[in-house]
């Protein structure tokens, strides 16, 4: 069994492997681990009973305990070792051929990855589901097509494998096949089944249509759109962002789904869109306020989790555009504030001008009135004219100061004399 240091040393090389190669490597390591454990169990000497008192007996009982594994693990382990006889023994004992591990991987998936034709035939003959799906919706045909295993592809198609099965990345088996002979086999089978491009596009859109229907139902029932789903705690918007479901994402955002919702790892939907290269979804999320600088629990931004350099460049461009838009908005906001302030000042000027004009009008009227009274010849009239003149000065001052008062009128007899 590999030592810890050896495992650490090979991590960089493992990180560069593709998905299929990494899975095969992990299976080989697991098989080595189980084989070493079984060998260690055989070499462990049996401890005789009794002969040492109660404490020794309890110790021997503890040492005699054996580690057991679930049936799914044992079936997968036997399939990974290509042990057809052990697999047959498990199946004959009543174990289901469709048992899977926590990732949804069945023995049929594993045998298709390993190009084990006898095991694939044995599992299918025992009733294994040719269209079983793992956690990422891969079928055995996806696995065989990806690895270019022509004989397995032919056998799976004969046993009813779905040529239009779509995995979580939106890929069908023929999308993932790079081996020319295997690809020709897949395309020929699709032609024989009358599969047209229209049917292919319809099958690709089926998952999103189902999701849109689910969202509309939640909206009608008034249920929460941001409720965590699955053990990762992602929301519907996380799922739509990861899969590139533009219509579903638009519907969610239209009904106020949160673009800053976080899953168990602190990822926002924008992290998912960036990780899986869904640029249109990233643009939509940013337009609804998602931040390209948002950090996960591991301090990763959407740019940090983006593995595709071309997508990363587009996200950087989107980030610069977003910054430019925000800067432009701030500039326009400042101009609007200055215009509002200027308009208020002009209003004050107009009000001051109106008040000044009104005061001047009152002053002119009073001056004319004083002149009329000044033409009277008697002394009393002279005194009154003097009083009016004095009052006019005071009143004018008061008006100038902003009051709307007028001087008192002369006695009624004086008005009659005039």
Q: Are residues 357 and 401 in the same domain?
A: yes
pLDDT for 145 equals 97
Is the pLDDT score of 255 beyond 90?
A: yes
Tokens at 132, concatenated: 């079983």
Q: Is residue 50 part of a domain?
A: no
Q: Are residues 119 and 193 in the same domain?
A: yes
Average pLDDT value for residue range 209-232: 92
Asked whether the beta carbons of 280 and 250 are under 8 A apart, the reply is no
CATH assignment at residue 281: 1.25.40.20
What Rg, from alpha-carbon coordinates, does the chain have? 43
Note down the domain range covering 251.
Answer: 206-307
Same-domain status, 274 and 344 = no
Distance CA 152, CA 134 (A): 18
pLDDT of 36: 79
Tens-place pLDDT, residues 7-45: 777 877 877 777 778 777 887 877 777 777 777 777 666
For range 117-143, the mean pLDDT: 95
In a domain, 252, yes or no: yes
Higher pLDDT, 333 or 50: 333
User: Is residue 316 within 8 Å of residue 303, measured between CB atoms?
Assistant: yes
Q: Please indicate, yes or no, if residue 24 is contained in any of the structural domains.
A: yes
**Mean of the pLDDT values across residues 42-57?**
56
Q: Do 135 and 22 share a structural domain?
A: yes
Say whether both 97 and 182 belong to one domain. Answer: yes
Same-domain pairing of 22 and 163: yes
Q: Given pLDDT bands bounded at 50, 70 and 90, which one contains residue 365?
A: low
Q: Share the mean pLDDT of the chain.
A: 80
Kindly report the number of other CB atoms within 10 A of residue 82's CB atom: 16
Residues 20 and 158 in one domain: yes
In the chain, the percentage of residues whose pLDDT exceeds 70 is 73
Same domain, 235 and 189: no
Least confident of 50-64, 326-340, 353-367, 384-398: 384-398
C-alpha torsion angle, residues 401, 402, 404, 410 (rounded to 10): 10
What is the token pair recorded at 298?
A: 């591991």
pLDDT, residue 27, reads: 79
pTM, two decimals, is 0.56
3-state secondary structure labels for all residues of the chain: CCCHHHHHHCHHHHHCCCHHHHHHHHHHHHHHHHHHHHHHHHHCCCCCCCCCHHHHHHHHHHHHCCCCCCHHHHHHHHHHCCCHHHHHHHHHCCCCCCCECCCCCEHHHHHHHCCCHHHHHHHHHCCCCCCCCCCCCCCHHHHHHHHCCHHHHHHHHHCCCCCCCCCCCCCCHHHHCCCHHHHHHHHHHHHHCCCCHHHHHHHHHHHHHHHHHHHHHHHHHCCCCCCCECCCCECHHHHHHHHCCHHHHHHHHHCCCCCCCCCCCCCCHHHHHHHCCCHHHHHHHHHCCCCCCCCCCCCCCCCCCCCCHHHHHHHHHHHHHHHHHHHHHHHHHHHHHHHHHHHHHHHHHHHHHHHHHHHHHHHHHHHHHHHHHHCCCCHHHHHHHHHHHHHHHHHHHHHHCCCCCCCCCCCHHHHHHC
User: Do 135 and 158 reside in the same domain of the chain?
Assistant: yes
**Mean of the pLDDT values across residues 224-236?**
90
* Domains held by the chain: number: 3
The predicted-structure confidence for 179-211, as pLDDT tens digits, reads as follows 999 999 999 999 999 999 999 999 989 989 999
| Token pair belonging to 310 | 């071309």
Q: Which of 132, 166, 197 is the last residue of a domain?
A: 197
Predicted confidence band at 302 (pLDDT cuts at 50, 70, 90)? very high
Residue 42, domain member (yes or no): no
Structural domain includes residue 149: yes
Tell me what the mean pLDDT of segment 59-82 comes to: 77
* In-domain check, residue 148: yes
Q: Are 292 and 283 in contact (CB under 8 A)?
A: no
Q: Does residue 61 contact residue 93 with C-beta atoms inside 8 Å? A: no
Domain membership flag for residue 155: yes
Of 153, 171, 197, the last residue of a domain is 197
- Average the pLDDT over 376-396 and give the result: 45
State the average pLDDT over residues 140-151: 96
The better pLDDT of the pair 265, 370 is held by 265
Give the per-residue pLDDT at 19: 77
109: in domain: yes
Average pLDDT over residues 342-361: 56
Gap between the Cα atoms of 329 and 341, Å rounded: 18
Query: Whole-angstrom Cα distance, residue 247 to residue 200?
Result: 19
Please state, in angstroms and rounded to a whole number, the distance separating the CA atoms of residues 386 and 374: 8
Are residues 191 and 330 part of one domain?
no
- Listed residue (135, 134, 190, 136) closest to 161, CA to CA: 190
The reply to whether 406 and 336 lie within a common domain is yes
Do 148 and 297 lie in one domain? The reply is no
Q: What are 154's strand-pairing partners?
A: none
Residue 112's alpha-carbon distances to 22, 52, 224, 366, 406, in angstroms, are: 15, 53, 41, 111, 106
Does the pLDDT at position 243 exceed 60? yes
């Amino acid at each position: 069994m590999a030592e810890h240091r050896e495992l650490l040393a090979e991590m960089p090389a493992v990180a560069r492997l593709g998905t299929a190669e990494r899975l095969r490597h992990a299976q080989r390591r697991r098989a080595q681990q189980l084989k070493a454990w079984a060998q260690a169990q055989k070499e462990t000497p049996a401890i005789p009973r009794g002969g040492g008192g109660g404490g020794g007996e309890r110790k021997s009982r503890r040492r005699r305990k054996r580690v057991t594994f679930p049936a799914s693990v044992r079936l997968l382990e036997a399939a990974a070792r290509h042990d057809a006889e052990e697999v047959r023994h498990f199946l004959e004992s009543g174990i289901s051929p469709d048992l899977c591990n926590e990732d949804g991987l069945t023995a049929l998936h594993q045998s298709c990855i390993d190009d084990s034709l006898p095991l694939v035939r044995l599992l299918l003959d025992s009733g294994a589901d040719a269209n079983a799906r793992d956690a990422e919706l891969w079928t055995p045909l996806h696995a065989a097509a990806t690895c270019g295993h022509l004989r397995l592809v032919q056998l799976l198609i004969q046993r009813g494998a779905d040529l239009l099965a779509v995995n979580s990345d939106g890929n069908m088996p023929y999308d993932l096949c790079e081996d020319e002979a295997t690809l020709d086999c897949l395309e020929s089978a699709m032609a024989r089944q009358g599969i047209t491009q229209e049917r292919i596009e319809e099958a690709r859109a089926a998952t999103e249509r189902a999701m849109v229907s689910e969202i509309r139902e939640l909206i009608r029932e008034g249920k929460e759109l941001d409720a965590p789903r699955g053990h990762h705690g992602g929301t519907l918007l996380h799922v739509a962002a990861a899969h590139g479901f533009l219509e579903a994402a638009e519907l969610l955002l239209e009904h106020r789904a949160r673009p800053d919702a976080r899953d168990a790892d602190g990822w926002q939907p924008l992290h998912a869109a960036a990780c899986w290269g869904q640029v249109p979804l990233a643009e939509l999320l940013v337009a609804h306020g998602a931040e390209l600088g948002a950090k996960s629990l591991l301090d990763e931004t959407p740019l940090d989790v983006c593995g595709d350099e071309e997508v990363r460049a587009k996200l950087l461009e989107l980030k610069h555009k977003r910054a430019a838009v925000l800067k432009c908005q701030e500039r326009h906001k400042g101009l609007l504030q200055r215009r509002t302030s200027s308009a208020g000042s002009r209003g004050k000027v107009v009000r001051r001008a109106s008040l000044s004009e009104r005061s001047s009008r009152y002053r002119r009227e009073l001056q004319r009135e004083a002149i009329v009274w000044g033409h009277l010849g008697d002394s009393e009239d002279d005194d009154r004219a003097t009083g009016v003149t004095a009052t006019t000065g005071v009143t004018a001052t008061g008006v100038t100061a902003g009051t709307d008062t007028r001087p008192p009128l002369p006695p009624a007899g004086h008005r009659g004399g005039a």
